[in-house]
Amino acid sequence: MKLDRIDVKILNALQTNGRMTNVELSEMVNLSPSPCLLRVRKLEAKGYIQGYSALINIAKLGQTLTVFTEITLKNHRQLDFARFISAIEKVDQVIECHLVSGGYDYLVKFVTTGIEEYQTIMEQLLDLEIGIDKYFTYVVLKSPLIKVHVPLANLLQRPNLDGRHLVPLE
Protein backbone atom coordinates (compact mmCIF):
# COMPACT_ATOMS: atom_id res chain seq x y z
CA MET A 1 0.00 0.00 0.00
CA LYS A 2 1.38 3.38 -0.98
CA LEU A 3 0.40 6.25 1.30
CA ASP A 4 -0.87 9.50 -0.16
CA ARG A 5 -1.20 12.93 1.49
CA ILE A 6 -4.65 12.17 2.86
CA ASP A 7 -3.42 8.94 4.49
CA VAL A 8 -0.58 10.88 6.11
CA LYS A 9 -3.02 13.54 7.34
CA ILE A 10 -5.18 10.80 8.84
CA LEU A 11 -2.22 9.19 10.59
CA ASN A 12 -1.01 12.57 11.86
CA ALA A 13 -4.42 13.48 13.22
CA LEU A 14 -4.96 10.10 14.91
CA GLN A 15 -1.55 10.02 16.57
CA THR A 16 -2.32 13.42 18.07
CA ASN A 17 -5.88 12.54 19.13
CA GLY A 18 -6.92 8.91 18.73
CA ARG A 19 -10.29 9.61 20.33
CA MET A 20 -11.59 12.03 17.71
CA THR A 21 -14.76 11.01 15.96
CA ASN A 22 -14.74 9.95 12.34
CA VAL A 23 -16.72 13.10 11.49
CA GLU A 24 -14.06 15.30 13.15
CA LEU A 25 -11.32 13.38 11.36
CA SER A 26 -13.05 13.59 8.00
CA GLU A 27 -13.36 17.37 8.38
CA MET A 28 -9.66 17.68 9.24
CA VAL A 29 -8.58 15.77 6.14
CA ASN A 30 -11.26 17.19 3.81
CA LEU A 31 -13.06 13.92 3.09
CA SER A 32 -16.64 12.91 3.65
CA PRO A 33 -17.10 10.56 6.66
CA SER A 34 -17.66 7.32 4.74
CA PRO A 35 -14.49 7.42 2.58
CA CYS A 36 -12.54 8.64 5.61
CA LEU A 37 -13.66 5.66 7.67
CA LEU A 38 -12.77 3.31 4.80
CA ARG A 39 -9.25 4.77 4.73
CA VAL A 40 -8.87 4.41 8.50
CA ARG A 41 -9.99 0.77 8.34
CA LYS A 42 -7.55 0.13 5.47
CA LEU A 43 -4.69 1.75 7.44
CA GLU A 44 -5.59 -0.47 10.40
CA ALA A 45 -5.80 -3.61 8.26
CA LYS A 46 -2.42 -2.91 6.63
CA GLY A 47 -0.77 -2.40 10.03
CA TYR A 48 -0.08 1.33 9.75
CA ILE A 49 -2.33 1.84 12.77
CA GLN A 50 -1.44 -0.74 15.41
CA GLY A 51 -3.93 0.33 18.05
CA TYR A 52 -5.21 3.13 20.24
CA SER A 53 -4.30 3.95 23.81
CA ALA A 54 -4.51 6.64 26.47
CA LEU A 55 -1.50 8.70 27.50
CA ILE A 56 -1.29 8.39 31.29
CA ASN A 57 0.35 11.03 33.48
CA ILE A 58 2.31 8.62 35.70
CA ALA A 59 3.38 11.47 38.02
CA LYS A 60 -0.25 11.60 39.19
CA LEU A 61 -0.08 7.95 40.26
CA GLY A 62 2.51 8.45 42.97
CA GLN A 63 6.24 7.93 43.17
CA THR A 64 7.77 6.38 40.08
CA LEU A 65 11.27 5.95 38.74
CA THR A 66 12.19 5.84 35.09
CA VAL A 67 15.47 4.12 34.27
CA PHE A 68 17.31 3.56 31.02
CA THR A 69 19.62 0.56 31.09
CA GLU A 70 22.36 -0.37 28.64
CA ILE A 71 22.62 -4.16 28.51
CA THR A 72 25.44 -6.15 26.93
CA LEU A 73 25.07 -9.87 26.32
CA LYS A 74 27.91 -12.37 26.82
CA ASN A 75 27.31 -14.04 23.46
CA HIS A 76 25.77 -12.81 20.24
CA ARG A 77 24.16 -15.83 18.67
CA GLN A 78 20.54 -15.68 17.55
CA LEU A 79 19.65 -18.01 20.41
CA ASP A 80 21.17 -15.58 22.94
CA PHE A 81 19.15 -12.65 21.61
CA ALA A 82 15.95 -14.71 21.55
CA ARG A 83 16.48 -15.96 25.12
CA PHE A 84 17.04 -12.40 26.36
CA ILE A 85 13.95 -11.03 24.58
CA SER A 86 11.80 -13.90 25.81
CA ALA A 87 12.72 -13.07 29.41
CA ILE A 88 12.51 -9.28 29.14
CA GLU A 89 9.04 -9.43 27.52
CA LYS A 90 7.70 -10.93 30.74
CA VAL A 91 8.79 -7.95 32.87
CA ASP A 92 5.84 -5.56 33.15
CA GLN A 93 8.10 -2.69 34.21
CA VAL A 94 9.96 -2.86 30.88
CA ILE A 95 8.15 -0.46 28.59
CA GLU A 96 10.71 -0.25 25.77
CA CYS A 97 13.52 -2.46 24.57
CA HIS A 98 15.71 -1.56 21.60
CA LEU A 99 18.47 -3.60 19.95
CA VAL A 100 21.10 -0.97 19.15
CA SER A 101 24.46 -0.64 17.47
CA GLY A 102 27.49 0.59 19.34
CA GLY A 103 29.10 -0.36 22.63
CA TYR A 104 26.20 -2.39 24.04
CA ASP A 105 23.39 -4.56 22.70
CA TYR A 106 20.10 -3.31 24.17
CA LEU A 107 18.72 -0.08 25.53
CA VAL A 108 15.87 -0.89 27.90
CA LYS A 109 13.46 1.56 29.52
CA PHE A 110 11.99 0.63 32.89
CA VAL A 111 9.28 2.40 34.89
CA THR A 112 9.22 1.22 38.50
CA THR A 113 8.04 2.36 41.91
CA GLY A 114 11.61 3.12 42.94
CA ILE A 115 15.25 2.11 42.88
CA GLU A 116 14.66 -0.94 45.09
CA GLU A 117 12.12 -2.41 42.69
CA TYR A 118 14.42 -1.72 39.74
CA GLN A 119 17.38 -3.38 41.47
CA THR A 120 15.25 -6.40 42.39
CA ILE A 121 14.22 -6.79 38.75
CA MET A 122 17.83 -6.60 37.58
CA GLU A 123 18.91 -9.15 40.18
CA GLN A 124 16.14 -11.50 39.05
CA LEU A 125 17.17 -11.08 35.41
CA LEU A 126 20.77 -11.86 36.31
CA ASP A 127 19.66 -14.92 38.30
CA LEU A 128 17.79 -16.23 35.25
CA GLU A 129 21.13 -16.56 33.47
CA ILE A 130 19.75 -15.19 30.21
CA GLY A 131 23.18 -14.11 29.00
CA ILE A 132 23.58 -10.64 30.51
CA ASP A 133 27.29 -9.81 30.68
CA LYS A 134 27.01 -6.29 32.09
CA TYR A 135 24.58 -3.45 32.46
CA PHE A 136 24.75 0.27 33.10
CA THR A 137 21.90 2.16 34.74
CA TYR A 138 20.82 5.72 34.01
CA VAL A 139 18.20 7.13 36.37
CA VAL A 140 15.98 9.80 34.84
CA LEU A 141 15.97 12.90 37.02
CA LYS A 142 13.66 14.97 34.87
CA SER A 143 12.01 14.67 31.45
CA PRO A 144 11.72 18.17 30.00
CA LEU A 145 10.53 16.86 26.64
CA ILE A 146 8.56 13.77 25.72
CA LYS A 147 6.85 13.57 22.37
CA VAL A 148 4.26 10.92 21.74
CA HIS A 149 4.00 11.49 18.01
CA VAL A 150 6.51 11.13 15.21
CA PRO A 151 7.01 13.66 12.38
CA LEU A 152 5.32 11.59 9.69
CA ALA A 153 5.53 14.22 6.96
CA ASN A 154 9.32 14.43 7.43
CA LEU A 155 9.75 10.66 7.54
CA LEU A 156 7.79 10.20 4.33
CA GLN A 157 9.78 12.68 2.27
CA ARG A 158 12.03 11.27 -0.38
CA PRO A 159 15.38 12.58 -1.67
CA ASN A 160 15.28 14.71 -4.80
CA LEU A 161 17.17 13.45 -7.85
CA ASP A 162 20.26 15.40 -6.77
CA GLY A 163 20.10 13.55 -3.43
CA ARG A 164 20.37 16.73 -1.34
CA HIS A 165 16.85 18.09 -1.09
CA LEU A 166 13.75 16.44 0.28
CA VAL A 167 10.59 16.31 -1.79
CA PRO A 168 7.25 16.04 0.03
CA LEU A 169 5.12 12.95 -0.40
CA GLU A 170 2.71 13.27 -3.31
* 121-132 tens-digit pLDDT: 999 999 999 999
* 65 shares its domain with 119: yes
Which residues, in sequence order, are bridge partners of residue 112?
65
Model confidence, pTM: 0.83
Mean per-residue pLDDT over the chain, rounded: 92
- Which pLDDT does position 163 carry in this prediction? 57
- Which pLDDT does position 170 carry in this prediction? 46
What is the rounded distance in angstroms from the CA atom of residue 93 to the CA atom of residue 89? 10
- Which pLDDT does position 164 carry in this prediction? 56
* 124 shares its domain with 88: yes
Domain enclosing residue 39, as ranges: 1-55
Whether the per-residue pLDDT at 165 is higher than 80: the answer is no
* 35-76 tens-digit pLDDT: 999 999 999 999 999 999 998 998 899 999 999 999 999 999
Decide if 157 is inside a domain.
Answer: no
Domain holding 128: CATH number? 3.30.70.920
CB 70 within 8 A of CB 55: no
Decide if 102 is inside a domain.
Answer: yes
- Which pLDDT does position 112 carry in this prediction? 97
- Which pLDDT does position 101 carry in this prediction? 96
Segment 84-97 shows an average pLDDT of 98
Decide which of 82 and 169 is more confident: 82
* 115 shares its domain with 79: yes
- Which pLDDT does position 156 carry in this prediction? 75
Total tally of structural domains belonging to the chain = 2
Segment 15-24 shows an average pLDDT of 95
Q: E strands of 45-148, at which residues?
A: 65-73, 94-99, 106-112, 132-139
* 139-164 tens-digit pLDDT: 999 999 998 888 887 777 765 555 55
Q: E strands of 64-147, at which residues?
A: 65-73, 94-99, 106-112, 132-139
Confidence of residue 86 (pLDDT cuts 50, 70, 90): very high
- Counting Cβ atoms within 10 Å, is residue 134 exposed (0-12), middle (13-18) or buried (19+)? exposed
Helix (H) or strand (E) holding 50: none
Among residues 99, 105, 94, the alpha carbon closest in space to that of 136 is found at 105
